[in-house]
Structure 1
Amino acid sequence: MLTLYTFHNSICTQKVFITLAEKGMECEEETVNLFAAEQYSPAYLKINPKGVVPTLVHEGRTIPESSLICEYIDETWPDSGPGGKLIPYGPFLKSRMRLFSKLVDETIFESTRELSFSAMFREKMKKMPEEQRRKRFANVGDPSKRARLISTYEQGIESPYVFQAIGNWEKAFSAIDASIAEFGGPWLLGTRFTLADINMIPYLWRIEYLDLIDIWLDDHDAAAAWWERAKTRPSAVSCIPDRLNEDDINAMKEHGGKLRDATLKKRKEYLGLKPK
């Protein structure tokens, strides 16, 4: 039996849902309410000491981290699903797939979080009682993550971490363009849909919902064509827009739209700093 600990609209969990959908598999879902800080409860910290979602439990064994969970599912059930394996064949393509995993885990996850937080969750934190807000900051055990959270809370779009996020997204779209040029498309690693594509899809969908994606895609034709194809993939549609309600989507668009002008300005500033 598979049990997945998740939270509504968790981007990282969306990767796992798409992987399960591609394999034709289902799981039991356990909701961890991040807004109520349930991820820091003693019971959940026993399951995932980092206090994050998702976490997969299979036959009593715990697998944390969304990228690892997706690989675990594909390697445990390699022949499931109409498309078969999602990890590409051969060491070279596997290494390229994992470059996209690293891109997400090391930069794009945080970059998307900074933009989402600046657009939406910052306003929710402003409405919290001071004591609850302090506790929320204190619960973030990693000092660097705590510093990012405090900076984006205090400065919003003017936080240097948000500027860094905008630059990281520019690099990500360039990486998509380069991969499609190298392997010929239509997917990131060629003709097969793989975990490389699954890694990226939820993050692009989030910045699309924030009404920001065209800021980059207007200058990245190959990435734009890949995205038009990716967001019609049945597994992705069923696991992202079909799981959201109209209020979710409208709230993201409304709050993200308030950042458009500042994001455009900061991207222009970032491009001006790049070596010619």
Structure 2
Amino acid sequence: MGEALSTFYSKGNLNTMKNVTLYHHGPSTCSQKVRIILELKNISYESKIIDLLAGEQHAPEYVKLNPNHLVPTLVTDDGVLIESSVINEYLDDNFPGIPAKPSDPFNIAKMRLWVKYIDVYHPQCGSITYGIGMRNILIQKPKDELDQEIASIPDLIKRKNRRDLVDMGLDAPVLIEALKQTEVLLDKLEQELENSDWLFNNSFGIADAATLPYIIRMEQLALGELFSSTKRPNINNWYERIKNMDIFENAVTSYIPEALIGVLTKFGNDQKDKIFKIMEKK
């Protein structure tokens, strides 16, 4: 998997566990979720970067760890874990010093329902990312290489959706539906934050970490006005609070190349009028 896979990154923090290793990709939304909780709980870990654009998630030695060809993957003395939502609860249970879950059972249940909803939304964000942004990078690859990369996606539905997004861009039905579902997500989030600074907790926690990467991605794609101070002030205030926290720099911005953000923002700006017209249709 090349030198990128062997990149080592150790956090000298308060909590320690031997042999905690995170396989992840800097801009990946699900990787961000886990890095945020690792930072929040001051957990030392070894970082191994998987270059998704280079196809390292399909390398045989990585697929042995994650048969879904996805990031993140967490390896500890207990074994291997995949799926960011599962990983984050595991981390909170094993490092209770800085709680990331609510203290009462009812709010824990509400948190889990919200995280489940976010997990269901996740493919919509992927459609938006590829249809608006990454498509314009992928189509620059040789056709044979791009076809092989798409064919390597193990899930048949995801493979078909990727093909449609690459071929059709904003006209892909899966992208049109994703934009509509994004409006639904933002309305739900705005409502949940109406009477609380954080999601189902007295402080930043797992539900916030699960949601944050999608707001970041919208901003990167020049869609930040969807949660402006006038359109959705609760989300705007929540996002500003998070950006002022150390974990935002340590777990998010330090891992995302400015050049990539610039490219995604340009692609978003170039297509913004059509994007908003799609979102206005009910």
Structure 2: distance between partners of 1:75 and 1:193: 16
1:140 pairs with 2:153? yes
In the alignment of these two chains, the number of paired residues is 263
In structure 1, what is the equivalent of residue 84 of structure 2? 66
Question: Is contact 1:103–1:172 with CA below 8 Å preserved after alignment?
Answer: no
TM-score (norm. length: structure 2): 0.88
Q: 1:220 aligns with which of 217, 224, 232?
A: 232
2:45 corresponds to = 27
Matched, 1:49 2:63: no
Deviation at 1:215, TM superposition (A): 2.9
Partner of 2:193: helix, strand, or coil? helix
Residue aligning to 1:268: 280
What is the rounded CA distance, in whole Å, between the counterparts of 1:86 and 1:60 in structure 2?
Answer: 21
Structure 2 CA distance for partners of 1:216 and 1:186, relative to 1, 3 Å: closer
Q: Unpaired segments of 5 or more residues in structure 2?
A: 1-18
* Aligned-partner SS, 1:259: helix
Q: Provide the rounded CA distance (Å) in 2 between the counterparts of 1:130 and 1:60.
A: 42
Q: Deviations over 1:200-248 (max 9, x none)?
A: 1111011111111213545322222222222222212321123333312
Measured in 1, the distance between the counterparts of 2:101 and 2:190 equals 21
Q: Structure 2 CA distance, aligned partners of 1:144 and 1:246? A: 32
User: What are the within-5 Å matches in structure 2 for residues 143-182 of structure 1?
Assistant: 143-181=156-194
Helix, strand or coil at the partner of 1:258 = helix
- What is the rounded CA distance, in whole Å, between the counterparts of 1:126 and 1:41 in structure 2? 22
CA–CA separation in structure 1 for the residues paired with 2:166 and 2:45: 35
Residues 186 and 216 of structure 1, relative CA distance in 2, 3 Å threshold: closer
Whole-Å separation in 2 of the counterparts to 1:177 and 1:9: 24
CA distance in 1, matches of 2:279, 2:32: 27
Aligned-residue RMSD, C-alpha: 1.6
Partner of 1:200: 211
Per-residue CA deviations over 1:165-197 (Å, capped at 9, x if unaligned) read: 11111111111122123xx21112253221111
1:106-158 CA-to-partner distances (Å, cap 9, x unmatched) read: 11x22221121122221222122222122112111211111211111111011
More off after superposition, 26-35 vs 11-20: 26-35
Shift of 1:104: 2.0
Q: Could you say what secondary structure the match of 1:85 adopts?
A: coil
Q: Which segment drifts farther, 221-230 or 85-94?
A: 221-230
- Amino acid paired to 1:152: L
Shift of 1:41: 1.7
Deviations 1:223-276 (A, max 9, x none): 22222222222212321123333312212211221221111101111xxx2xxx
1:188 counterpart = 2:178: no
TM-score, with normalisation over the residues of structure 1?
0.90
Structure 1 gaps, min length 5:
none
Work out whether residues 227 and 235 of structure 2, in 8 Å CA contact, stay in contact via their aligned partners in 1.
Answer: no
Asked if the contact 1:14–1:202 (Cα under 8 Å) also holds between the matched residues in 2, the reply is yes
SS in 1 for 2:191: helix
Percent of aligned positions that are identical: 27
Provide the rounded CA distance (Å) in 1 between the counterparts of 2:176 and 2:224: 16
| 2:129 is aligned with 1:97 | no
Choose 229-238 or 61-70, whichever is displaced more. Answer: 229-238
Alignment of 1:70-89 (within 5 A): 70-79=88-97, 84-89=98-103
Name the CA distance, whole Å, in 1 between partners of 2:244 and 2:169.
Answer: 33
Shift of 1:78: 0.8
1:256 aligns with 2:268: yes
Instruction: State the 4+ residue runs in structure 1 displaced beyond 4 angstroms.
Output: none
